[in-house]
Amino acid sequence: MSDPVVEEPENSEPARPETGWRKLVGAKSGAAKPAKVVLYENSNLAQLARVFEESGAGWFWSVDELQRITYVSPYVAKKLGRDEKELLGQPFQSLFQKDAQPGELITRSLPFVLGKRGRFANLELRAATPEGDECWWSISARPISGPDDSFRGYWGNGLDVTANRRNTAESLRLTSSDTLTGLASRHKMGQRLEATLTAYRVAKRSCALMMIDLDRFKHVNDTLGHPAGDELLKQAAQRLRRVTNEKWEVGRLGGDEFQVIVPDVDDRGTLGDVAMRIIAIISQPYTIDGVRCVIGASVGVAIAPYDGLASDELTRSADLALYAAKNDGRGRYRFYSSDLHDEAEDRRQIEDDLRDALARGEISVAYQPVVDTKTNQISGFEALLRWNHPERGMVPPSIFIPVAEDANLIAPLGEWALRQACADAASWEGSARVAVNVSPIQFEREGLVSMVASALGNSGLAPDRLELEITESVFMGEGADTDATFAALKKLGVRLALDDFGTGYSSLGYLKSAPFDKIKIDQSFVCDAAEGGNRNAALIAAIVSLAEVLGMETTAEGVETLDTLELIRKLRVSHVQGYVYSRALDNDEIARRMREQDIEIKPSGPKHIRSDRKTLFRKIGVIHEDHRYEVTMRNLSKSGALIEGLIDVPMGTKFVVDFSEGQLAVATVVRSRGHSQGLRFEVPLISDGSVGLCTRHRVSPYALAAAGMPLAALPPGQYPLVNNGVDSKKGFSLPQFAQIEGDANSRRVA
């Protein structure tokens, strides 16, 4: 076999003999121009090399010490649409694209690799093909040494890996993208969250995680079929993408569960607004194959680093917050807090106790008056379930009704309430009506009409004195069954009221078709209507005008102040229900009033609305200068709190209130009497998505760690003071306030 011949430039030294594989490619170069390689036609090894090159699967190349091409296979020139001779002497980098596509290796790293003058293998680069046709080559090389062991360039080979790249890209697309919705997949979301949190821990940045679950999706899937369910998921995904920031990562984890990664946002006011927008847009009606469907959404929110530093921790926290949101009645959001662990256990215990509560006689019915706004006279009562727990006392309906719905206990409770309300109302003198709530679960069940007929027949109550309150969510699967149930109920002669109107499922379509006698305006529109800066009054006026045209009555729920009542009257609302007239009454009190014809109630209460105050009994910390005091919080509102535990605190004193878990609020003492102080917050608290309140921002664990405390040693409510202005060399000052310890009956001064 003949060796390849290297044609040397003039005045160059003879070529160094090569052996083995290096016979294929001559790598001699001069200072002025590169050497030219010629393969003898009668070389067996050259013939094998040419066959390999012509197959297009692989090719050979060599460069001099200046990275100029000294040899390249004809296949390469043909693929690039260039002349083979033209390529000789050109920079090796010219064979590849200069600009990388997203996710591709940037080719300017090639000179760096070649400049290291060492072996390299399987470096994948995109070829500089004409028209930008996709072609990927994997190149490998080893350095060439001169007689004096000096670096003389590289010889190497290349392989076409385009097919492999396409297959890999398709596999990556399938694993990173949800095939149904086009959103990021569970796998992609997990990778992105892990990478984000890892980078943000170093940069000390925050990242929020939202878990979203569709409410009542299973009902649509079961009744309309899986193809309809898939179409609903596609439309929900499109809405979710529209309402979220384009810089956020949005994905579907599977089923009807979605996830949103929100980088660099820890403002819970902002996150709460985003969650409400998500709930609102998901809850708008859908049309699937000509059928109108309504679902809802619940959202759980967790924020790193406060609620978890690792991806699995943050995901568990968001999951627990989502679980709490669904337990609160769905269609709402919750932020994670450590209290949710106790809430979950508490809910389980409530469910166990509720199963036997009816049999033990712990459930009763109270009745809140519904008053005519023109005459101040009682026109009827709404039946409200009450649960007097032997240990917990009165358990609010907002707590046990959602538990009953999830535990499939709402049907027996609802039937009992209906029969009891009919029996009680039948014993009242006069013609006052009684209103009973019918849950969507009850409405969907067969036998509702016969059960109502049985309750009326057994009690002897006239049908027109019974009013069934039905929420808009019964229309989520609007169809023949819904219409038939309405028609059958109206045939019995009972009245129908549309409850909680305007809370997310409103449609003029079913107001036109469903035979309602009354619209109940939800208290979320009513409570702030008298305050400026909102459109609630205009919305109420529109609802009233619509009801009047359709011949329906209206009832405003949750009226508590005199200025709100005055506005409601001006807006021509026909009836009012709320504390401004009366709380719920027991049956004996109502029977007495009806017997004595004591049906007129004079409104009373505060003139103006004020922030809702929640009665509490909770230990918190207040910080003054360099001292932290333990006090008891008696009530809490968005604007302030009432605390007990410090003696004779002057008006105007500034405190930092520590609610635990990094929640710090600056407050001023605006009322002080003995051991009790009223505080006003500089920045109002915000809703936690449920019945609680929280601070808009939290103090990052990073800041606490910077103050000298390890993250693992951060007990709730025991944070070190940061930048408190105290010189540690001088020590701490003496506390300015005496502190009371113990309960109300046994206190001592510390």
Pairing of strands 495-501, 291-293: unpaired
Q: Is it the case that residue 106 has pLDDT exceeding 90?
A: no
* Structure token pair of residue 702: 């990073």
Question: What whole-number percentage of the chain has pLDDT above 70?
Answer: 82
pLDDT score for 661: 81
Sort residue 687 into left (φ over 0), alpha (ψ -120 to 50) or beta: beta
pLDDT score for 357: 94
**482-506 residue pLDDT tens:** 788 899 999 999 999 998 776 655 5
pLDDT score for 721: 37
- CB-CB contact of 244 with 260 (8 Å): yes
pLDDT score for 221: 84
Mean pLDDT confidence for 421-440 = 95
pLDDT score for 172: 67
d(CA 264, CA 194): 15
**495-534 residue pLDDT tens:** 999 987 766 555 566 676 678 999 999 887 887 777 766 7
Q: State which of 118-122, 163-167, 338-342, 382-386 shows the largest mean pLDDT.
A: 382-386
- Which is nearest to 658 in space by CA: 717, 736, 709, 704? 717
**324-373 residue pLDDT tens:** 998 877 889 999 988 888 888 888 899 999 999 999 999 999 999 999 99
Question: Rounded to 5 degrees, what are φ and ψ at 118?
Answer: -130, 175
- CB-CB contact of 392 with 337 (8 Å): no
Q: Is the model more confident about 113 or about 386?
A: 386
Q: What is the largest CA-CA distance in the chain?
A: 129
**203-259 residue pLDDT tens:** 889 999 999 999 888 888 888 888 999 999 999 999 999 999 989 999 999 999 999
Sort residue 467 into left (φ over 0), alpha (ψ -120 to 50) or beta: beta
pLDDT score for 608: 73
Q: Is it the case that residue 15 has pLDDT exceeding 50?
A: no
For the chain, the domains span 5-167, 177-337, 365-595, 614-749
Total residue length of the chain: 750
d(CA 293, CA 161): 49
Q: At what angle do helices 186-203 and 311-327 cross, to 10 degrees?
A: 110
Q: Is it the case that residue 19 has pLDDT exceeding 70?
A: no
The region of weakest confidence among 13-27, 64-78, 354-368, 436-450 is 13-27
**458-474 residue pLDDT tens:** 999 999 999 999 987 77
> pLDDT band at residue 735, thresholds of 50, 70 and 90?
confident
Q: State which of 42-46, 131-135, 596-600 shows the largest mean pLDDT.
A: 596-600
CATH 3.20.20.480 is held by the domain 365-595: no
| Mean model confidence pLDDT for the chain | 82
Q: Is it the case that residue 380 has pLDDT exceeding 50?
A: yes
Report field, pTM of the whole predicted structure over 0.75: no
Architecture of domain 614-749: Beta Barrel (2.40)
> pLDDT band at residue 636, thresholds of 50, 70 and 90?
very high
3-state helix, strand, coil in the chain (%, to 5): 35, 30, 35
Write the single-letter amino acid at 534. Answer: N
Taking residue 532's Cβ as centre, other Cβ atoms within 10 Å add up to: 6
Mean pLDDT confidence for 687-693 = 82
Q: Is it the case that residue 687 has pLDDT exceeding 90?
A: no
CATH 3.40.50.11540 is held by the domain 5-167: no
Q: Is it the case that residue 286 has pLDDT exceeding 50?
A: yes
DSSP string, 307-366: T-SSHHHHHHHHHHHHHHHHHTTSS-EEE--THHHHHHHHHHHHHHHHHHHTTTT-EEEE
Q: Is it the case that residue 27 has pLDDT exceeding 60?
A: no
* Structure token pair of residue 276: 């409400």
- Which is nearest to 519 in space by CA: 469, 584, 463, 461? 469
pLDDT score for 492: 95
Class of domain 177-337: alpha beta
pLDDT score for 43: 58
- Which is nearest to 258 in space by CA: 275, 273, 271? 275
Pairing of strands 378-389, 333-335: unpaired
Residue whose entry in the numeric block shows the structure tokens 């920031």: 245
The region of weakest confidence among 33-37, 173-177, 197-201 is 33-37
d(CA 724, CA 727): 9
- CB-CB contact of 526 with 564 (8 Å): yes
* Structure token pair of residue 449: 């009409």
